[in-house]
Amino acid sequence: MFFDHLQNGGYVGAHRGARSLAPENTMLAAELGMVLGADFWEMDVQRTADGKLVVFHDDDLGRTTDVSARPEFCERAPWPVHRFTLEELRSLDAGSWFAAQDPYGTIARGEVREADLGRMRGQRIPTLEEALAFTRRNDFPMNLEIKDLSYAPGDLSIVSQVLRQIREAKAEDLILISSFNHDYLAEVRRLAPEIPLAALVEERHPEDIERYLADLGAVGYHPDEAILDEALVRRLAGVGIHVSPYTVNHMDRALSLLDAGCFGIITDYPQTLRRRLTVR
């Protein structure tokens, strides 16, 4: 399983791929995360209008695609992902926005290679199937976050659909599933005892975290770094919980959390954290 590939802790997780160097949640971002030294990549899964699973973060398409410039879609603003078919989503350009906006200043600083810049324009929203095939082909572990779709009736069925695709790709051993929706995690535990879980938490820790995670059957804990301190990391790591905070973009903070015993650090700058860890 995921934790057999990554046994010791101290790992670098590429948040939505190498998000500071390539358009997030694209195959280019996944590939750069891998070649630049991340130990695993994190990505987000949600469902299309025709029931297909795709890799995409936001609820709406505006920020990270060219949908607003496409006349045929202009009346569908704010362009919710779940109201678009897979075919419509695949017709969008999910990469040029990054080259145009340089959201992390990495292009201006010369940190993005010309060849990667050239590939951005062709990036499409990946299917989960594509992402799993990449992970399997490269033995590159993946933290699969199931987005909270509780606005949609029947949303719990996304869990069995995700599990079916993981099994079809024969990628069970490379996947860690996380979600802010802990009902989804309980459903994974019921249907797939072989796949490890991590609970995502944003604003506050659950009371009695150790008990909470044990009841959920989760070995991983992924809190927002803003609510995490080193003492809590030491406490949880001491009882075998794999703590991987998000999104840690300050490298001194990342190193301090790793020293306290974090299993992994989920960062937009996997390339920088890898370099810092290498020269230590």
Pairing of strands 264-267, 175-179: unpaired
- Based on the residue annotation, tell me whether 15 is a catalytic residue of this protein: yes
Phi, psi of 83 (to 5 degrees): -105, 5
Q: Please list the residues that pair with 223 across neighbouring strands.
A: 201
User: Please, what sign has the CA dihedral across residues 52, 56, 60, 65?
Assistant: negative
User: Is 31 an interacting residue with respect to Ca ion (CB under 5 A)?
Assistant: no
78-to-25, 47, 104 alpha-carbon distances in Å: 20, 17, 24
> Which of 6, 15, 67, 187 is close enough to bind ligand G3P by CB under 6 A?
15
* Closest listed residue to residue 20, CA positions, set 105, 95, 109, 136: 105
Q: With respect to Ca ion, which residue has the nearer C-beta, 14 or 258?
A: 14
Whichever of 223 and 261 has its CB closer to ligand G3P, that residue is: 223
Q: Does 42 bind ligand G3P (CB under 6 A)?
A: yes
| Partner whose footprint covers residue 178, from Ca ion, ligand G3P, none (CB < 5 to 8 Å by kind) | ligand G3P
Between residues 119 and 257, which has the closer beta carbon with respect to ligand G3P? 257
- State which of positions 110-169 bind Ca ion (CB under 5 A): 145
What CA dihedral angle connects 40, 251, 99 and 137, to 10 degrees?
A: -10
Give the residue nearest to ligand G3P (CB): 246
Cross-strand partners of 54: 46, 127
Taking the C-alpha atoms of residue 214 and residue 198, their distance in angstroms, rounded to an integer, is: 11
With 0-12 / 13-18 / 19 or more C-beta atoms within 10 angstroms meaning exposed / middle / buried, residue 90 is: middle
Residues 179-208 that bind ligand G3P (CB under 6 A): 200
- Which one is catalytic: 57, 82, 182, 250? 57
The residue among 255 and 266 lying less far from ligand G3P, judged by its C-beta, is: 266
- Which structure tokens are listed for 81? 């992902």
| 242 a catalytic residue | no
Smallest gap from residue 42 Cβ to ligand G3P (A): 5
Q: Which of residues 220-259 bind ligand G3P (CB under 6 A)?
A: 222, 246
24 sits near Ca ion (criterion: CB under 5 A): no
Q: In the complex, which residues of this chain contact Ca ion (CB under 5 A)?
A: 44, 145
Active-site annotation, residues: 15, 57
